[in-house]
């Protein structure tokens, strides 16, 4: 297993560790519920250094990004970021990602999922027919997500950059906690507000930034948070998790990602995805709230009242903020409208649930 710059810190703090995407990662510290509520109401720190980062440079960098992603990166100005996805040749999803515009038309950063770094690099490289300068900086880049409504309030004293007023999906670059060339981005996958902090892992920079963040935050109740709470937080917001809710066999339209799919430009498999948009899809990714007692889990079958299979659960949990069990899953389109009753097969029993609009929280 690979380590992040913070792995030994997590172990020293007593975190429950496990393999995730090839890395030794903290799953929880004091418990999922406590960590979840800390982020929703205050602020918490996630080590997400396992994520991948690619730099694309040159006059044709934007053209390459436009051809391999579904969203319209030409709309990005310096200091803006965008959620997007990489479609495959069949209209499925290679990965979902963030596109950062460092210098318009010249320099961009792609942030991809940890489990897909090599796959995504090969995919983008395959389409790099115009000699765009590409750098995989994943191994030397550290990333902390400081999430929660109080996060920027606590962190502001560590920088002269105005991070308190950063607009959602924008970023700034400068000195943070005494370290130069740090990117602070108003992004994150919790829906609780806060920032993500990117910096090069060199010397003791990682330790210094971690220590400084907790120096200003611990007195206010800021805590380190594991990946288990990150999953419950993103699920309450209805955010897709690659490998669960989206993958190479799901298309952006059925996954509810039509809003990041722009047909004003050409991109991989555009005709196929555009046809899905025109004709409609046979199934849709929906939010589910349990009516009867039971927790839906990835892979559970969905049935209708007559016992016919109509779909599958892709993610599920007992939502700490809501006090109820929720899930996401693909269902046949005739059962996808809000209020529809479906049944989750849990231990060979049909447990009633209903389709609800997302986000849940």
Domain boundaries, the chain: 282-356
Chain position carrying tokens 């130069």: 180
Block means of pLDDT (10 residues each) for the chain, 361 residues, are: 97 98 97 98 98 98 98 98 98 98 98 98 98 98 98 98 98 98 98 98 96 98 98 98 98 98 98 98 98 98 98 98 98 98 97 98 92
- Angle of helix 227-236 relative to helix 32-41, nearest 10 degrees, comes to 60
Q: Which pair of tokens denotes residue 352?
A: 């009633």
- What is the pairing mode between strands 223-225 and 44-47? parallel
Does the pTM of the predicted model rise above 0.95? yes
- Specify the pLDDT at position 128: 98
Distance CA 273, CA 216 (A): 47
How high is the pLDDT of residue 91?
Answer: 98
Give the tens place of pLDDT for each residue, 91-132: 999 999 999 999 999 999 999 999 999 999 999 999 999 999
Backbone angles phi, psi at 234, to 5 degrees: -70, -35
**Assigned token pair, 103:** 């210098």
Beta strands in the chain, from DSSP E residues, in sequence order: 16-20, 23-28, 44-47, 52-57, 80-87, 93-103, 107-112, 133-136, 141-147, 171-176, 179-185, 194-200, 223-225, 283-290, 301-303, 309-319, 324-332, 341-346, 349-356
List strands edge to edge, sheet with 44-47: 171-176, 179-185, 194-200, 141-147, 44-47, 223-225
Q: How far is it, in rounded angstroms, from Cα 226 to Cα 34?
A: 11
How many Cβ atoms from other residues are within 10 Å of residue 302's Cβ? 25
Report the candidate in 205, 10, 49 with the shortest Cα–Cα distance to residue 138. Answer: 49
The 3-state DSSP class for residue 257 equals coil
The secondary element (H helix, E strand) that includes residue 269 is none
The C-alpha atoms of residue 151 and residue 45 are separated, in whole angstroms, by: 9
Burial 2-14 (b: 16+ CB within 10 A, else e): eebbbbebbeeee
Torsion sign, CA atoms 298, 348, 294, 337: positive
Smallest CA-to-CA distance from 313 within 297, 326, 324 is with: 297
In sequence order, the 6+-apart residues with CB closer than 8 A to the CB of 298 are 244, 313, 314, 315, 316
Residues whose CB is less than 8 angstroms from the CB of residue 148 and which lie 6 or more positions away in sequence, other chains included: 38, 39, 40, 41, 42, 43, 44, 190, 192, 193, 194, 222
Pairwise CA distance, residues 313 & 329, whole Å: 4
Cβ atoms of residues 52 and 116 within 8 Å = yes
Q: Which CATH architecture has domain 282-356?
A: Beta Barrel (2.40)
Per-residue confidence (pLDDT) for residue 174, from 0 to 100? 98
Q: Which of 171, 226, 172, 182 is nearest to 208 (CA)?
A: 182
What does the pLDDT look like over 5-50, one tens digit per residue? 999 999 999 999 999 999 999 999 999 999 999 999 999 999 999 9
Which pLDDT belongs to residue 352? Answer: 98
């Amino acid at each position: 297993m690979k380590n992040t710059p913070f792995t030994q810190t997590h172990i020293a703090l007593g975190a429950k560790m496990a393999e995730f995407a090839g890395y030794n990662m903290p799953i929880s510290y004091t418990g999922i519920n406590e960590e979840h509520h800390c982020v929703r109401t205050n602020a918490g720190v996630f080590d997400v250094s396992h994520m991948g980062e690619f730099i694309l440079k040159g006059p044709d960098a934007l053209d390459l990004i436009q051809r391999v992603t579904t969203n319209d990166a030409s709309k990005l100005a310096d200091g803006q970021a965008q959620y997007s996805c990489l479609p495959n040749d069949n209209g499925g999803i290679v990965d979902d990602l963030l596109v950062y515009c460092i210098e318009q038309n010249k320099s961009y950063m792609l942030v991809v999922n940890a489990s897909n770094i090599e796959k995504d690099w090969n995919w983008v490289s395959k389409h790099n027919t115009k000699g765009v300068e590409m750098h995989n900086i994943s191994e030397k880049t550290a990333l902390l997500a400081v999430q929660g409504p109080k996060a920027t309030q606590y962190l502001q004293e560590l920088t002269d950059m105005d991070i308190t007023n950063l607009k959602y999906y924008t970023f700034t670059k400068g000195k943070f906690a005494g370290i130069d060339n740090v990117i602070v981005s108003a992004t994150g996958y919790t829906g609780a507000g806060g920032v993500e902090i990117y910096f090069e892992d060199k010397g003791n920079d990682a330790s210094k930034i971690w220590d400084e963040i907790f120096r200003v935050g611990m007195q206010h109740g800021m805590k380190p948070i594991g990946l288990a709470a990150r999953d419950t937080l993103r699920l309450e917001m209805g955010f897709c998790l690659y490998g669960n809710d989206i993958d190479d066999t799901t298309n952006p339209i059925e996954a509810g990602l039509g809003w990041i799919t722009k047909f004003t430009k050409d991109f991989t498999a555009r005709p196929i995805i555009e046809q899905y948009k025109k004709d409609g899809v046979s199934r849709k990714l929906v939010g589910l709230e349990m009516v009867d007692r039971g927790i839906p889990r990835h892979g559970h079958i969905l049935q209708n009242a007559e016992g016919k299979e109509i779909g599958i659960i892709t993610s599920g949990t007992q939502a700490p903020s809501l006090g109820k069990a929720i899930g996401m899953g693909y269902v046949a389109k005739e059962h996808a409208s809000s209020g529809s009753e479906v049944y989750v097969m849990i231990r060979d029993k049909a447990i009633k649930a209903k389709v609800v609009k997302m986000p849940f929280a």
